[in-house]
Amino acid sequence: MSEIADFQQLNKQRVPSHVAIIMDGNGRWAKDRGQPRIFGHKAGVESVRKSVSYACQNGIKVLTLFAFSSENWRRPKDEVSGLMDLFAWALSNEVKKLHKNQVKLKVIGDRDVFSDSFRKRIDEAEKLTENNSGLLLNIAVNYGGRWDIVNAVKKILNDAATDILNIKDFNESMISEHLEVSQDVDLLIRTGGEKRISNFLLWQLAYSEIYVSDILWPDFNEDVFQKAVNYFASRERRFGCTGEQIRGEKQ
C-alpha cells in the first residue's frame, strides 16, 4: 500500500487510536471554591476515572495522561507532597479496578527521584496489569518530553556499547522504539484553556490534532471527551500531503 493510501485509510479511522491529555486547571478549580490546590487534584481523580471509562468503551487503544511534569517540582512543597501522596493512594486503590477491566497500566517518566516504597508500588501495579489486553493507560509522572528524547538516545548509545552501531542505521524508528511511549499521538486534549504543550510527548506529538478546552480538569467528563473526538473526526489529516491527495481527487 502506498503512503497516500495509508494516509487515506488513517482519515477513515474516525476514532483516535492514541489520545494524550494535559490535565490542567485543578488549582484554579479549587481556588474558585476557596479551597487549597490539593482539593482540586483530588477532585480530578474522578475525571481520570471518567476518561479511562470513555476510552475503554469507545475503541481508544492508548490513553496517556500528564499527571506531574519534571518542572512541577518547582511548585509549593505542600502541593508536591500532597500530589505524591495522592499518586500513591491511587496506585493502591485504583489498580484493582483497572485490572478488572483489562486495562494495562504503565507509569512513564524518570523514577530515580522517587522513594523505594513508591517505586515498589509502581512496579507492583504494572506487574499486576502487564498481561491485560484492553486499553493501555500511560500515566506520566516526573515526565518531560526533552528528557524522554535524551533518555532514548542514551539507551541507544548504551546498546551500541556492546554492538557496533552503523551511523547509517540510526533513524527515527530507532528513537521511537526507545521512548517511554512508542506510539504517535493522534489527538492531544488540553483542559484549562492554555494553548501550549508544556514539554509533553514532544516527539510523539509531531502530527497530532490538538483540542483545547476551557473546561477545568475536575469538570472534564465523557461529554467533553466526545466533543474532542468529534473535533478529531472532522479533521483532514494530511501528513504533509495535499488535501486532494488525501481525498483521492485528480489534481
- Give the active site residues: 24, 72
> How many Å apart are CA 7 and CA 10, to the nearest integer?
5
Side chain identity at residue 99, one-letter code:
H
Instruction: List the grid coordinates of 67.
Output: 499527571
Q: Are 233 and 226 in contact (CB under 8 A)?
A: no
Instruction: List the grid coordinates of 225.
Output: 471527551
Number of neighbours of residue 131 by Cβ within 10 angstroms: 9
Side chain identity at residue 89, one-letter code:
W
Cα separation values, 81 from 44, 60, 89, Å? 16, 32, 12
Phi/psi of residue 170, nearest 5 degrees: -75, 120
Instruction: List the grid coordinates of 57.
Output: 468503551
Q: In the chain, what is the straight-line distance between the N-terminal and C-terminal CA atoms, in Å? A: 20
